Amino acid sequence: ICSQTSQAQRPKPNYDESKVPEFKLPDPLVTSEGEKVDSAEEWQKVRRPEILELFESEVYGKSPAPPKDMLFEVTSQKNDALNGKAIRKEVSIYFSGKKEEPRMDLLIYLPAKATKPVPVFIGLNFYGNHTITEEKDVKLSDKWMRANKDKGIVDHHATEKSRGTSASRWPIEKIIDRGYGLVAIYCGDIDPDYDDGFKNGVHALFNSKQKPAPDEWGTISAWAWGLSRAMDYLETDKQIDANKVAVMGHSRLGKTSLWAGAQDPRFALVISNDSGCGGAALSRRRFGETLNVINNAFPHWFCDNFNKYIDKEEELPVDQHMLISLIAPRPVYVASAEDDRWADPNGEFLSVKYAEPVYKLLGTSGFGAKEMPKVNQPIQQQMGYHIRTGKHNVTDFDWQQYLDFADQHFKGS
Ligand code: GCU
């Protein structure tokens, strides 16, 4: 692709607000024909499908329809996990309907004392379901992983040392104590996070011989598609309230939670934690990570058409505020971290702000904030946002807000 640049030529990231280029954002409420959208009906019938189609063909790539015969298998169940607090299940989803790869494993924790189906958070993780918990009898992932010594990964595979290494990002007991369940999935079960020409993961089920076309799914689309397949299972699980499923993701997996929530309205609430470029941050700002950098470093994440806009962000027919608008009127929460300038906190805030007119048109409270709030002062209307102190990570502060936000929307408190 001609406009891609080598490592050495890559521009230095801009962290200077005064050097953000002037830009004009496409209006989510004006159709491609230039018509003003002024009713909920017109939004749903005309403009929303138009925007969705643009994100499919120009940004993440189109995904195939769900497979016809998936097989769900409960491989373990423990009714007194976490010292009696939780029911823990492991469920395998075989996409082809046969007991063969690709296979996706769900690790599910539910409050043991629940007397009715519970609302849940669902989230992809980076290094396997066994990393989110200290419990030793959770299955160790057998899949390929990115190299990471700190996470106990040896030869691209998990070892016993890797158990619990991401537990701080998933406060399971807190989630359970607040009456929610948690569904965890290793993203690499759906598509391993490297550029292999799309032969592995779920891509192999559909187009094993050829590379996807320029408007067909990259890895983020594949991950989002996998989340929807997990949702297919959740709809069959009587212990789970499938109308109250919140999808949450961090960083590349936050880009994924937004795209999953944008496409699949069964996700009743959507959370992006530090998702940055190609997630909640506006591409046109070119602050921190840019399209040039992300498409070169991770050529498999987006569809090939996205490369057309490298250093030509102003030609994009969408920007990321329109991704948020696709989630309307469902509650959406975007979180940033002060030291995570790579992800452009201001650009993440502005996406929420510029998606607000769609939320308002659909009759919700919208967002309400005009200016970036102070650190650690969350805004929680139909749209939520915070910037907390600290770095690129998922912290207890973040989860505290997500739980409060979910209470507000799922329990009316
Ligand atoms: C890199 C990448 C980001 C991504 C992050 C992550 O920093 O440049 O776009 O969000 O990895 O997923 O942790």
Are 391 and 340 in contact, with CB atoms under 8 Å apart? yes
Q: 60: CA distance to ligand 1 center in Å?
A: 16
CA 411 → CA 235, 306, 364, 407, distances in Å?
20, 39, 17, 5
Helices (H) and strands (E) in the chain, counts: 11, 12
Query: Minimal CA–CA distance to 262: which of 254, 270, 273?
Result: 270
The answer to whether the bond into 329 is cis (omega within 30° of 0) is yes
Q: Where are the beta strands (DSSP E) in 233-389?
A: 240-250, 269-273, 332-337, 379-380, 383-388
Query: Counting atoms of ligand 1 from 1, which one is nearest the CA of 392?
Result: 13
The answer to whether residue 1 scores a pLDDT higher than 70 is no
- Which of 342, 344, 394 maximizes ligand 1 atoms within 8 Å of its Cβ, making it the mutation to test the pocket? 342
Q: Mapping DSSP to helix (H, G, I), strand (E, B) and coil, where does residue 362 land?
A: coil
The whole-angstrom separation of Cα 51 and Cα 57 is: 10
Are 317 and 367 in contact, with CB atoms under 8 Å apart? no
Query: Minimal CA–CA distance to 355: which of 290, 295, 281, 289?
Result: 281
Span of 1-5, 195-199, 359-363 with lowest mean pLDDT: 1-5
The whole-angstrom separation of Cα 314 and Cα 391 is: 29
| Angle ∠(250,255,256) on CA atoms, nearest 5 | 90
Give the rounded distance of the alpha carbon of 333 from its chain centre.
11
The pLDDT score that the predictor gives to residue 208 is: 62
Query: Counting atoms of ligand 1 from 1, which one is nearest the CA of 294?
Result: 8
What is 218-234 written as a DSSP string? -HHHHHHHHHHHHHHHH
Q: 13: CA distance to ligand 1 center in Å?
A: 14
The residues lining ligand 1, judged by C-beta closer than 6 Å to any ligand atom, are 251-252, 276-277, 289, 294, 297, 342
The answer to whether residue 410 scores a pLDDT higher than 60 is yes
Q: 251: CA distance to ligand 1 center in Å?
A: 6
Q: At what angle do helices 252-263 and 219-234 cross, to 10 degrees?
A: 60
Are 363 and 302 in contact, with CB atoms under 8 Å apart? no
> Running DSSP on this structure, what letter comes out for residue 63?
-
Query: Counting atoms of ligand 1 from 1, which one is nearest the CA of 255?
Result: 10
- Which of 289, 292, 334 maximizes ligand 1 atoms within 8 Å of its Cβ, making it the mutation to test the pocket? 289
Write out the catalytic residue numbers.
Answer: 251, 392
Q: What is the pTM of this model?
A: 0.97
Query: Counting atoms of ligand 1 from 1, which one is nearest the CA of 289?
Result: 8
Largest CA distance in the chain: 60
Structure confidence by residue, pLDDT tens digits, 257-302? 999 999 999 999 999 999 999 999 999 999 999 999 999 999 999 9
Span of 1-5, 264-268, 343-347, 382-386 with lowest mean pLDDT: 1-5
Q: What is the ipTM of this complex?
A: 0.98
The answer to whether residue 185 scores a pLDDT higher than 80 is yes
Structure confidence by residue, pLDDT tens digits, 74-112? 999 999 999 999 999 999 999 999 999 999 999 999 999
Average pLDDT over residues 113-125: 98
Are 230 and 93 in contact, with CB atoms under 8 Å apart? yes
Q: 278: CA distance to ligand 1 center in Å?
A: 10
Q: 283: CA distance to ligand 1 center in Å?
A: 15
